[in-house]
C-alpha cells in the first residue's frame, strides 16, 4: 500500500504546497518548468559539475516506490508542475532552518518593463537592494514545548539592513539554562507551532556557546565554498536562496562536529549528486541520507529562474549577498567568543556521571 506524503514541518520560505515522502528522504514541491530543466542541465553539462556539490540531490522519477509513495499518491509528475528533491532536514534530530534569498535583483531578462519596475521597487523597500540578501524566514526548535517556532513573513519584510545582525542573533540562539539538555534518538515531528517575536529574546533553547561557535564556523566554511563555486559558474542566478540547517540536539551536534574533523570525513556516494530512476538507485538514495552525519549543512535552492548562460557569470549582487552573509556570521562568532560556556562544562560533567553509573 502506498501511503500519502505529509506536509513539510520545516518550511520557512518559498511557496506553499511542499510535502515530504513517508520515509522522510524526499521533498516534493510545486515548480515552474525551468527548475527541473536546470537540474538536468547541471547533470549533463560538464562545466557545471561543481554545482552538484552545493545543490540538493535531484530525482528524475520516484516511480511506484512504496516507501516514498510520491507519484502514485499525488498522481503528478514534473510535466504538470512538481519536482522531487532530497529532503535536506532528513537525518537531523532537532534542526533549526534558515532561508536567505540572494541577489540585488529578483527578475530576469524576460520580465516585462512593468513587472521589472515593481520588482525593483520591492527590492529597494527590503534589504536585498542594499545588501544583496533578504532573510526570507527561519525556524527554531523549542525543546521545552516540543514546538517549532517560526517567523512571520510580514515581520521579516520590515527588516532594515541595520537590523540584520540582531536577526542573525535570533537565528543562532545560545542555551539559556543547564540540562537536562535536549537529546533524542529520533527527528522531531512536532505538530505545534509558535511564532518568533523579532523584538524579543528567543524563546527557543539554543546550543551552548562553544558548540554554536563551531557550528557557525563550519557554516561559514560551506558558504565560502558555495561563493567560490558560483563565482566561476556560467549561470544566471535569479531568486535562489541559501538554505542552512543545523542540529540543536546537543549530543548529536557534538558528534556531528567530531565526525567532520580531518581524517573522519568520508565522501558521500557519488550517487547522491545524480538523478535516480530505477529501483536499485532508490535503495541507494534511501541509505545515503538515512543517517546523516555532520552538525550542519548549507545548500543553494530554488532555481525557477536560473539558467545556464555560457559566457555570462553569476551577477555581482549575488556574490555581494554572500559576502554580507559571511560578515554577519563572523560577527555572531565574535559575539560568542566573549561568552563563558559554563553550560557545556556542566553538561560534560552530567554526561560523565551518567556514563559511569552509580558509585559503589
Instruction: For 55-102, write each residue's pLDDT tens digit.
Output: 999 886 545 454 444 443 343 444 458 889 999 999 999 999 999 999
* Cβ–Cβ under 8 Å, residues 110 and 34: no
pLDDT for res 276: 38
Q: Does residue 224 form part of some domain?
A: yes
Instruction: Read off the pLDDT band of 280 (50, 70, 90).
Output: very low
pLDDT of residue 352 exceeding 90: no
pLDDT of residue 49 exceeding 80: yes
Q: Does residue 52 form part of some domain?
A: no
Most confident range (mean pLDDT) of 18-27, 30-39, 161-170 is 161-170
pLDDT for res 268: 38
Instruction: Read off the pLDDT band of 191 (50, 70, 90).
Output: low
C-alpha cell, 284: 541507494
- Assign residue 118 the CATH number of its domain: 3.30.470.160
pLDDT for res 266: 42
Cis peptide before 180 (omega within 30 of 0): yes
pLDDT for res 215: 97
Least Cα distance to 255 among 203, 309, 317, 183 occurs for 183
Instruction: Read off the pLDDT band of 284 (50, 70, 90).
Output: very low
**Structural domain boundaries, residue 162:** 91-272+292-338
169 vs 338, residue with greater confidence: 169
Q: Does residue 243 form part of some domain?
A: yes
Q: Does residue 192 form part of some domain?
A: yes
Order the strands of the 95-102 sheet from edge to edge. 193-195, 147-150, 133-142, 95-102, 241-247, 296-301
Mean pLDDT across the chain, nearest whole number?
A: 77
What is the domain count for the chain?
A: 1
* Cβ–Cβ under 8 Å, residues 82 and 28: yes
* Cβ–Cβ under 8 Å, residues 317 and 132: yes
Q: Does residue 20 form part of some domain?
A: no
352 vs 7, residue with greater confidence: 7
The C-alpha angle with vertex 22 and arms to 98 and 6, in degrees rounded to 5, equals 60
| 288 three-class SS | helix
Q: Does residue 241 form part of some domain?
A: yes
Q: Does residue 353 form part of some domain?
A: no
Instruction: For 223-248, write each residue's pLDDT tens digit.
Output: 999 999 999 999 999 889 999 999 99
Q: Does residue 66 form part of some domain?
A: no
β-partners of residue 133 are 102
Instruction: Read off the pLDDT band of 262 (50, 70, 90).
Output: low
Most confident range (mean pLDDT) of 71-85, 119-133, 245-259, 338-352 is 245-259
Give Rg (Cα) of the chain.
21
10 Å CB burial of residue 28 (0-12, 13-18, 19+) is buried
Amino acid at each position: 500500500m502506498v501511503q500519502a506524503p505529509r506536509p513539510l514541518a520545516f518550511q520557512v520560505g518559498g511557496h506553499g504546497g511542499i510535502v515530504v515522502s513517508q520515509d522522510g528522504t524526499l521533498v516534493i514541491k510545486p515548480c515552474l518548468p525551468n527548475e527541473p530543466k536546470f537540474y538536468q542541465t547541471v547533470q549533463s553539462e560538464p562545466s557545471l559539475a561543481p554545482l552538484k556539490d552545493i545543490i540538493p540531490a535531484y530525482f528524475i522519477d520516484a516511480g511506484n516506490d512504496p516507501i516514498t509513495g510520491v507519484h502514485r499518491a499525488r498522481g503528478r509528475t514534473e510535466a504538470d508542475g512538481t519536482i522531487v528533491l532530497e529532503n535536506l532536514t532528513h537525518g537531523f534530530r532537532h534542526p533549526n532552518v534558515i532561508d536567505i534569498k540572494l541577489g540585488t535583483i529578483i527578475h530576469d531578462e524576460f520580465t516585462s518593463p512593468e513587472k521589472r519596475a515593481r520588482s525593483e521597487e520591492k527590492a529597494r523597500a527590503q534589504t536585498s537592494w542594499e545588501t544583496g540578501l533578504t532573510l526570507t524566514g527561519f525556524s527554531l526548535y523549542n525543546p521545552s514545548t516540543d514546538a517549532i517556532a517560526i517567523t512571520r513573513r510580514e515581520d521579516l519584510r520590515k527588516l532594515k539592513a541595520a537590523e540584520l545582525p540582531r536577526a542573525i542573533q535570533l537565528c543562532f540562539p545560545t542555551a539559556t539554562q543547564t540540562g537536562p539538555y535536549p537529546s533524542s534518538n529520533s527527528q522531531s515531528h512536532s505538530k505545534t507551532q509558535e511564532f518568533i517575536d523579532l523584538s524579543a529574546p528567543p524563546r527557543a533553547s539554543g546550543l551552548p556557546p562553544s558548540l554554536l561557535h563551531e557550528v557557525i564556523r563550519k557554516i561559514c566554511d560551506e558558504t565560502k565554498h558555495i561563493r567560490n563555486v558560483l563565482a566561476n559558474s556560467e549561470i544566471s542566478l535569479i531568486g535562489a536562496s541559501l538554505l542552512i540547517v543545523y542540529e540543536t540536539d546537543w549530543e548529536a551536534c557534538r558528534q556531528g562536529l567530531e565526525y567532520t574533523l580531518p581524517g573522519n570525513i568520508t565522501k558521500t556516494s557519488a550517487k547522491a549528486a545524480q538523478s535516480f530512476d530505477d529501483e536499485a538507485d532508490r535503495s541507494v538514495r534511501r541509505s545515503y541520507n538515512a543517517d546523516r552525519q555532520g552538525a550542519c549543512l548549507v545548500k543553494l535552492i530554488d532555481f525557477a529562474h536560473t539558467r545556464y548562460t555560457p559566457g555570462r557569470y553569476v551577477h555581482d549582487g549575488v556574490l555581494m549577498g554572500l559576502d554580507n552573509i559571511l560578515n554577519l556570521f563572523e560577527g555572531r562568532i565574535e559575539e560568542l567568543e566573549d561568552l563563558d560556556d559554563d553550560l557545556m562544562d556542566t553538561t560534560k560533567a552530567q554526561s560523565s556521571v551518567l556514563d559511569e553509573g552509580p558509585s559503589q
